[in-house]
Amino acid sequence: MSRKMIEIGKTDVEMTPRPIEPSWILEGKPEATGCELSRSADGLASTIVWHCTEGKFNWYYTFDETILILEGSIVLESDTMRPTRYGPGDVIFFRDGAHAKWHVEGHVKKLAFCRKTQPFVLGLAGRAINKLKRIFFPIGTRQATSLMGAG
């Protein structure tokens, strides 16, 4: 399967239901929808547009997630953070293993960058391989090689 090197997307997309785990819901009937915009070749990273209606719920993170709030507002709190309101333009990072209580006020739409963390040793090995690639195959060389192979 051929993958494009550059993909373009929009945040105004058709979204499908992405129900919140019922046992996590604390108040209301929040309904969540989403759409995956992109996924990395190794499947460990993705970009998602997500929307949710009003309600309060717990969220338990099993991957790193950085969000950019596009519309609406939320109040977040955790064991180490007092309730704080966030709105359009705010960026929040949740580490793998984090827990947060979400209170969606009206609705929220976010752009989420999600990445599954790897064991430290695998990450170190990957960085070492990438460093060797940069040393032995500088960017200009890689581009020339790929262009020559395209003809």
pLDDT in tens, 78-99: 999 999 999 999 999 999 999 9
Top pLDDT among 19 and 145 is at 19
Give the integer Cα–Cα distance in Å for 91 and 106: 19
Q: Please tell me the predicted confidence (pLDDT) of residue 77.
A: 97
Beta-sheet pairing, 16-17 with 32-39: antiparallel
Top pLDDT among 10 and 101 is at 101
- The pLDDT confidence band at residue 122, using thresholds 50, 70 and 90, is low
Top pLDDT among 25 and 128 is at 25
Show the 3-state SS of 33-45. Answer: EEEEEEECCCCCE
Backbone angles phi, psi at 125, to 5 degrees: -60, -40
Average pLDDT over residues 8-31: 95
Q: Which of 75-84, 96-105, 117-126 has the lowest mean pLDDT?
A: 117-126
**Rg of the chain over CA atoms, in angstroms?**
19
- The pLDDT confidence band at residue 8, using thresholds 50, 70 and 90, is confident
Q: Please list the residues that pair with 30 across neighbouring strands.
A: none
Residue 28 has pLDDT above 80, yes or no: yes
Give the integer Cα–Cα distance in Å for 138 and 128: 15
| Nearest residue to 83 via CA among 74, 92, 91 | 74
Measure Cα distances from 14 to 48, 49, 76 in Å: 12, 10, 27
